[in-house]
């Protein structure tokens, strides 16, 4: 595999640092950092969460993609899905001549156009075991940007499958990261997984563990979220918990406790080690950004603006945290959602909801909180602040 599989970079960071800074840096955001994460502009006072934007894993993935373009200037570069869930970053990579391949209607990637001459970049979410094997068989050069936190979860899921435990994953079964994580069980004969989206779904499974009974209804409910041939009676006697790294960490921990409680109900505390395992794979970056938002919300805020892709799991959870505290929250995908011509804002009011617009969103606001998901570059945060000032009729700060 050596020579055609790369995971540790090409030593070209110094060569691409200027380009990265030009594409994503914000002097305004740096000024806020230096001013205790605060910026005053006319009647407005912006308060920035103390942890926000690009995390280490995203930084690494984006830098590695730029290095790959520099390393292979004459090769066709292809990205499996999106490098991260941010429209601005992915658009920039397209401008650099990187092609994207997405899943088709059948849920599969079509790699038929790839040859050994292609250089293929795998995203920060990783790829499934089957997709990796297919790419290796083609013989193309592979550049793996999978986040280290995701790899830690993979190791845990693999250990469950190896030891005969079903991996119960708190995540979104359709998300690329969860697809890749769940596929790790296929490395072992009899490996099984089940994906639960939230506590409500977890409770359905836990009720079945405790009471048993006819599995038809629950099997139908989770038809798209279980491994092939999953048997609810057979495959829930020994379970190990894992999580998509960008889910609400507090909910992941609560779901793990709920499964443990149900296993105690069914098998007794003395036998818990034979039937239940838990994880220590909460992503520190996800946790830090969630904690920072909670801390920010301890002070009086008139509204919150959350910047990041609508398909970014960690961003949608930051927005949900803000809404849960009763603060008017505007989750925007990009700074251009703040329309300086009309004064309106385009935003997603809840997870997976259709985008809507509001014309009186700024109203009499004075103190505005702002944060961004782990895949949002700093320049989009800075641009959002400037455009908000224009809409409010105050002089925007100099970057």
Tens digits of per-residue pLDDT, 25-81?
999 999 999 999 999 999 999 999 999 999 999 999 999 999 999 999 999 999 999
For the record, the structure tokens of 336 come out as 């251009």
**Is the pLDDT reported for residue 399 higher than 90?**
no
β-partners of residue 169 are 195, 242
Q: Indicate which residues carry an active-site annotation.
A: 177
Provide the H-helix boundaries in the chain.
13-24, 27-34, 56-71, 87-95, 129-138, 148-162, 176-183, 199-211, 216-221, 249-267, 272-275, 284-296, 313-324, 378-392
Confidence at 279, pLDDT banded by 50, 70, 90: confident
CB proximity list for 80: less than 8 A, separation 6 or greater: 101, 109, 120, 121, 122, 123, 127, 131, 135
Q: What is the mean pLDDT of residues 340-346?
A: 97
81, 173, 188, 220 from 223: Cα distances, Å: 24, 11, 21, 5
Q: Is the domain 13-55+284-392 a CATH 3.40.1010.20 member? A: yes
Burial class from Cβ neighbours inside 10 Å (0-12, 13-18, 19+) for residue 276 reads buried
Q: Is residue 272 classed as helix, strand or coil in its secondary structure?
A: helix
Model pLDDT, residue 213:
86
Residue 172 CA to residue 196 CA, distance in Å, equals 7
User: Domain segments of the chain: what residues?
Assistant: 13-55+284-392, 58-146, 149-244+247-277
Q: Which pair of structure tokens corresponds to residue 86? A: 């941010």
**Confidence bin at 110 (pLDDT 50/70/90):** very high
Q: Looking at the predicted structure, is the pLDDT value of residue 156 above 90?
A: yes
* pLDDT, average across residues 14-19: 96
Query: For residue 122, what are the β-bridge partners?
Result: 144
Residue 24: strand pairing partners: none
> 378-392 vs 27-34: helix axis angle to the nearest 10?
90
What is the rounded CA–CA span in Å between residue 249 and residue 89?
26
Residues 272 and 265: their CA atoms lie apart, in Å, by 10
Q: What is the pLDDT of residue 2?
A: 54
Q: Which residues contact 265 (CB under 8 A, 6 or more apart)?
A: 209, 210
Q: Which two tokens stand for residue 90?
A: 């992915």
What is the per-residue pLDDT across 349-397, written as a single tens digit (0 to 9) for each? 998 899 999 999 998 999 999 999 999 999 999 999 999 999 999 998 8
**Cβ-count burial of 238 within 10 angstroms (0-12 exposed, 13-18 middle, 19+ buried)?**
middle
Give the pLDDT of residue 352. Answer: 87
Among 220, 77, 198, which residue's Cα sits nearest to residue 141? 77
Q: How confident is the model at residue 1, as a pLDDT?
A: 45
Calculate the average pLDDT of the chain. 95
* 107: exposed, middle or buried (Cβ count in 10 Å: 0-12, 13-18, 19+): exposed
Residue range 224-265, pLDDT digits in tens: 999 999 999 999 999 999 999 999 888 999 999 999 999 999
User: CA 332, CA 128: separation in Å to the nearest integer?
Assistant: 30
- 138-147 pLDDT, tens digit each: 999 999 999 9
Q: CATH code for 149-244+247-277? A: 3.40.1010.20
Q: The tokens 């008017």 sit on which residue?
A: 328
- Domain 58-146 adopts which CATH fold? Rossmann fold (3.40.50)
Query: What is the rounded CA–CA span in Å between residue 133 and residue 143?
Result: 14
What share of the chain has pLDDT > 90, as a percent?
93
Q: What is the pLDDT of residue 183?
A: 98
Same topology for domains 58-146 and 149-244+247-277, yes or no? no
């Amino acid at each position: 595999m050596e020579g055609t599989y790369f995971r540790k970079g090409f030593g070209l960071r110094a060569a691409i640092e200027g380009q990265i800074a030009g594409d994503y840096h914000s002097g305004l955001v740096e000024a806020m950092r230096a001013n205790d994460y605060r910026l005053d502009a006319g009647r407005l006072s912006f308060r920035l969460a103390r942890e926000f934007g690009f995390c280490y894993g995203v930084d690494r993935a984006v830098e590695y993609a730029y290095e790959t373009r520099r390393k292979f200037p004459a090769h066709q570069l292809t990205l499996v899905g999106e490098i991260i869930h941010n429209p601005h970053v992915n658009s920039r990579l397209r401008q650099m001549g990187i092609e994207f391949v997405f899943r088709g209607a059948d849920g599969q990637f079509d790699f038929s156009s790839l040859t050994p001459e292609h250089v293929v970049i795998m995203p920060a979410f990783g790829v499934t075991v089957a997709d990796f094997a297919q790419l290796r068989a083609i013989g193309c050069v592979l550049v793996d940007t999978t986040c280290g936190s995701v790899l830690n979860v993979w190791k845990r899921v693999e250990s469950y499958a190896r030891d005969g435990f079903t991996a119960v994953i708190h995540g979104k079964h359709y998300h690329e990261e969860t697809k890749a994580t769940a596929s790790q069980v296929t490395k072992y004969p009899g490996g099984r997984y089940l994906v639960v989206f939230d506590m409500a779904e977890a409770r359905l499974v836990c009720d079945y563990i405790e009471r048993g009974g006819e599995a038809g209804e629950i099997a139908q409910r989770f038809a798209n979220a279980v491994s092939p041939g999953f048997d609810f009676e057979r495959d829930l006697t020994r379970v190990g918990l894992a999580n998509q790294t960008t889910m609400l960490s507090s909910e992941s921990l609560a779901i793990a406790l709920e499964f443990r409680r149900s296993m105690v109900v069914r098998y007794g505390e003395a036998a818990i080690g034979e039937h239940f395992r838990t994880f220590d794979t909460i992503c520190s970056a996800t946790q830090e950004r969630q904690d920072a938002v909670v801390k920010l919300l301890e002070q009086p805020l008139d509204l919150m603006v959350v910047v990041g892709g609508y398909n970014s799991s960690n961003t949608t959870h930051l927005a949900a945290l803000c809404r849960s505290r009763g603060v008017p929250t505007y989750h925007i995908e990009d700074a251009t959602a703040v329309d300086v011509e009309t004064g309106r804002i385009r935003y997603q009011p809840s997870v997976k909801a259709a985008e809507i617009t509001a014309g009186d969103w700024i109203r009499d606001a004075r103190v505005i909180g702002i944060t961004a998901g782990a895949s949002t570059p700093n320049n989009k945060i800075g641009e959002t602040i400037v455009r908000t000032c224009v809409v409010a009729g105050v002089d925007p700060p100099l970057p």
